[in-house]
Amino acid sequence: MSLAQLDMRAGEGADLVLRGATVLDPLAGIEAQHDVVVRAGEIAELAAPGEADVAGIEEIDADGLHAFPAFFDPHVHLRTPGQEHKEDIETGSRAAAAGGYCGVLAMANTEPPVSTPADIEALRAGARAAASVRIGFLATVTRGMEGEELTEMASLREAGALGFSDDGLPIRSALMLRRALQYQRLCGGAIALHEEDPDLSGAGVMHEGPVSAVLGLEGIPSVSESTTIARDAALAGYEGGRIHVQHLSAAESVEAVRVAKAAGVQISCEASPHHLCLTDEEVRSLDPQRFKMNPPLRSESDRQALIEGLRDGTIDCVATDHAPHAPEEKQVPFEAAAMGVTGLETAFAALHTELVLRGVIDLALLLERMTGGAEPFGIERPSLAPGSEANVALCDLGAEWTVGEDGYESRSSNSWCEGRKLTGRVLMTLAGGQVAYRLRSFSLGVAA
């Protein structure tokens, strides 16, 4: 399906030109300096610099700036309905736009969970009223995420659910997942899986290893994740189903997905910026605001395995697992704090700073993985090819900024990047053909 089928607020298509931008769209094979002409919300033309006929439209001096296909995040928590004190559709989509995203998939572990067609319809109406980027909604696999009965998956699909996930919790019963995979043949829709063995994870709050040993914090062993992935990949292979593994954190998990892909299982997976940039050493600070999430930050060898997976394609995409929490849920001791960190506003800048500028991966690969989250859900990736809906992230790759200094678009401030100095910043985002975001201090100089 096309990205344009996802919901967002209706508005005027943008008419503007990005003068002299360095355009990079690896999948469309575009890498050159262009005047990017956007008319009525479509990429009208990629003209030679200075050549575009742009009478009467806004001109933006993009010389020295980069234009990328805007990003797609298959894993965010918008906390609506029920937890609007953390985030809602408006603030969450603003955060996405500020991070250069044109589309996101919202998880269903709300209060109550998104388990009925009416829930999906209400959320879609909410997105059409308030979203500044395109939003797709997932429904839960099991009613109320209780793991006992399947939701009405076919009716949910007809109402517009883009897929299914009990994210936040694993599907404990292998039989329940098997039934969902069987039913998927009827209704379609990828099943996205939070992989964890609840018995092995116990009351764990961080990665099990030398750091948890010293801190006296209960550990979540890597095998809690990898054994469940192996089980679910076997089920998907057996039933011919399509699964997407969420937030890989451990080396063993990357290997489990690699083996399943080699065996022909229809499996895709994602990794988050925080797992690609940080390790459990950070937890020594006992700061839950930035460093408590599930799955937990793991060891340096796990981080290296994730990077290798990103490089060789075992890991299809970057997903932020943007998980906003209110201050009173985070300003408590580590063990008592809520799991999760926000990430939409910093994902690109953090990975550019920590991986691209350090020479670990190249920029083109990062861009591919930043939009790769659409395909597992059957959605076309954003593209800068003329004729496409305008979904553009305009970035200054040299801009240095300190995260949190100017506040956040998100309602919550539990960013894992809080206080970090990053290089590379999104200045403007076009999403669904509309101007979704402009950095407040970004002066829109008119080209001479």
Partner 1 sequence: MRHLLSIEQLSKAEIEAILDRAESFAEVGRRDIKKVPTLRGRTVVTLFYESSTRTSSSFELAAKRLSADLVSVKAAGSSVDKGESLKDTVATLSAYEPAAIVLRHPHAGAAHLVAGWADAAVVNAGDGKHEHPSQALLDVYTLRRQLGSLEGKRIWIVGDVLHSRVARSNLIAFKAMGADLTVCGPPALIPRGLEQLGCEVTHSLDRLEEADVVYSLRLQHERMRESFVPSLREYAAHFQIDSRRLGARQLLMHPGPVNRGVELSGEVVDSPQSLIAEQVASGLVVRMAILYELLAASDDETAPAAGNGAARATPIGQPA
Q: Which residues bind partner 1 (CB under 8 A)?
A: 208-219, 221, 286, 328, 331-336
Min CB(206)–partner 1 separation in Å: 10
State the DSSP H helix or E strand holding residue 18, giving kind and residue range, or none if neither.
Answer: strand 16-25
Closest separation in Å from C-beta 222 to partner 1: 11
Instruction: Let me know if 199 is a catalytic residue.
Output: no
Catalytic residue among 73, 119, 167, 321: 321
**211 or 260: CB nearest partner 1:** 211
Q: Which is nearer to partner 1, 71 or 291 (CB)?
A: 291
The least distance separating partner 1 from the CB of residue 288, rounded to whole angstroms, comes to: 8
What is the b/e burial string over 113-123, where b = at least 16 CB atoms within 10 angstroms of the residue's CB? bbbbbebbebb
Residue with smaller CB distance to partner 1, 225 or 239? 225
Phi/psi of residue 140, each to 5°?
-75, 155
For residues 251 and 355, which CB has a smaller minimum distance to partner 1 in the complex? Answer: 251
Pick 40 or 332: Cβ nearer partner 1:
332
Q: What is the SS3 assignment for 188?
A: coil
Shortest distance in whole angstroms from residue 331 CB to partner 1: 6
State the amino acid at position 76 in one-letter form.
V
In the bound state with partner 1, the residue whose beta carbon lies nearer, of 50 and 198, is 198
Alpha helices in 51-168 (DSSP H): 89-98, 117-130, 153-159
Q: Which amino acid is at 201?
A: S
- What letter would DSSP give residue 144? G
Strand extents, DSSP E, 198-311: 206-207, 219-220, 242-245, 266-271
Gap between the Cα atoms of 232 and 253, Å rounded: 12
Residue 313 or 327 having the CB closest to partner 1 = 327
Report how far residue 200's alpha carbon sits from residue 171's, in angstroms, rounded to the nearest whole number.
14
Neighbours of 144 (CB within 10 A): 15
Residues 6+ apart with CB under 8 A from 404: 413, 415, 417, 418, 419
Angle at which helix 251-262 crosses helix 300-312, to 10 degrees, equals 30
Q: Whole-number minimum distance, CB 402 to partner 1, in Å? A: 20
CA atoms within 13 A on the CB side of 69: 31
Instruction: Extract the tokens encoding 142.
Output: 């099991």
CA–CA dist 143, 150 (Å, integer): 6
The Cβ of residue 213 has, within 10 Å, a number of other Cβ atoms equal to 10
In the bound complex, what is the minimum distance in angstroms from residue 291's beta carbon to partner 1?
11
Question: Looking at beta carbons only, is 214 or 444 nearer to partner 1?
Answer: 214
Q: Are strands 163-165 and 134-139 parallel, antiparallel or unpaired?
A: parallel
Strands 42-47 and 30-39: antiparallel
- Is the separation of the CB atoms in 64 and 23 below 8 Å? no
Q: How far apart are CA 91 and CA 303, in angstroms?
A: 30
The CA-atom distances, in angstroms, between 334 and each of 104, 318, 330 are 29, 26, 8
Min separation Cβ 357 and partner 1, Å: 31
Please report how close the Cβ of residue 243 comes to partner 1 at its closest, in angstroms: 30
Residues marked as catalytic: 321
